[in-house]
Amino acid sequence: MARLQFHPCGNYRESYGEELRIFETDYGRAALLAGLVLLFAVVPFISSAYFLYVINLAGIAVIGAVGLNILIGFTGQISLGHGAFIGVGAYGAAILATSLHLPLFLAVPLAGCVTAAVGMIFGIPSVRLKGLYLAIATLAGQFIIEYVLIQWEGLTKGTMGIVLPQATLFGLPISGDRGFFYLIFALAVFMTWTAKNLFRTRSGRAFMAIRDNDRAAEGMGIPVFPYKLLAFGISSFYAGVAGALWAYYTMSITPEPFNLDLSIEYIAMVIIGGLGSITGSVFGALFISGLNEILRSLFDLLTNLPLLQGMELNPAALRQFVFGLAIVLFILFEPKGLAEVWRVVRSNFRLWPFSY
């Protein structure tokens, strides 16, 4: 369906199929293809090892944030336990790889499935609860999973952590940041593509109906609870895959990073990116990962300034403050997130010179 034309200046859609289209014109498709080619063929070869490390972590964050947006932004169920779910994925992969000696291509999806099961268990309260009660229930889930990760020493080795074996894919060792770049971004692109298309299917539309009005959805014959559980499952699967990749990439894991702060970080990605927008969650994940790195280098810069040499600066303090400020500012001034900014910028170009 080659439609090499510019965006129409109004809504001229004639069928539901047209409404559902991802790319309004072939230019969008071409731009995305060009972007992907740039990403896979150019980026890993021109960036330094450190930069590659940063964008690899950002790629993992993209997977997690897209998953969380499926739950919060598209189904309207708040989860404050996603940090713990990512931990479950990481530990799932680590245990599968060390105890059962499963190869990577099995361990990662299986870790995702384990996390999906755990996520569905913690989604069960959504039968009776919604809104703030559900948020609190998932908060409890976060603390309970954290406790299990630390205390179940027979399985998780407690605070000692687990060291993972070298990642291999079909006999080929995945080594270095460049190898992981391809693994992480192939998965990130694939999973983002799946998520984007999920909302063109029956289940995806059911999710959105539940978000918009759960009583109306029930009235229209959508079985609300199974779909809520499914949303928890899919979202946790994404979290699990993100965690598994994290575990393989960092080679050793401990329970510490998977705390409430990580959950908050992921919700921040979703909110800053824009609720209910897959593109937005990609932006949000990149924004937060970038912010983390900028803050780190800013802190290095500040500690090296002769003026501030005598002061005892705390890296956590600066990070906490700026992070909180970013969340607050986005909620107050751009609650629809970066996706909205992107839309406004694009429509400005499109409507030029008569933009409003």
The binding site for other proteins (CB under 8 A) comprises: 72, 78, 80, 124-125, 127-133, 135-137, 139-141, 143-144, 147, 150-151, 214-215, 218, 224, 260, 264, 267-268, 271, 275, 312, 314, 316-328, 331-332, 335
Query: For residues 192 and 69, what is the distance between their CA atoms, to the nearest angstrom?
Result: 11
When the beta carbons of 56 and 142 are compared against other proteins, the nearer one is: 142
When the beta carbons of 233 and 276 are compared against other proteins, the nearer one is: 276
CB of 91 to other proteins, least distance (A): 17
CB of 119 to other proteins, least distance (A): 15
Query: For residues 231 and 77, what is the distance between their CA atoms, to the nearest angstrom?
Result: 9
CB of 127 to other proteins, least distance (A): 8
| Residue (of 250, 231, 210, 88) closest to 155 by Cα position | 88
CB of 133 to other proteins, least distance (A): 5
The DSSP annotation for 138-169 comes to: HHHHHHHHHHHHHH-HHHH-GGG-EEPPPPEE
Strand partners, 169: 172
CB of 303 to other proteins, least distance (A): 14
Burial of 2 (0-12, 13-18, 19+ CB in 10 A): exposed
CB of 130 to other proteins, least distance (A): 7
List the end-to-end C-alpha distance of the chain, in Å, as a whole number: 32
When the beta carbons of 20 and 317 are compared against other proteins, the nearer one is: 317
CB of 212 to other proteins, least distance (A): 11
Burial of 341 (0-12, 13-18, 19+ CB in 10 A): middle
Query: For residues 353 and 251, what is the distance between their CA atoms, to the nearest angstrom?
Result: 53
Residue 346: how many CB atoms within 10 A of its CB?
Answer: 12
When the beta carbons of 23 and 321 are compared against other proteins, the nearer one is: 321
- The conformation of residue 173, written as its DSSP 8-state character, comes to E
CA atoms in the 13 A half-sphere facing the CB of 181: 20
When the beta carbons of 109 and 315 are compared against other proteins, the nearer one is: 315
CB of 198 to other proteins, least distance (A): 20
Q: Which stretch of DSSP H or E encloses residue 16?
A: helix 16-20
When the beta carbons of 169 and 326 are compared against other proteins, the nearer one is: 326
When the beta carbons of 201 and 320 are compared against other proteins, the nearer one is: 320
When the beta carbons of 229 and 267 are compared against other proteins, the nearer one is: 267
| Residue (of 96, 101, 33) closest to 243 by Cα position | 96
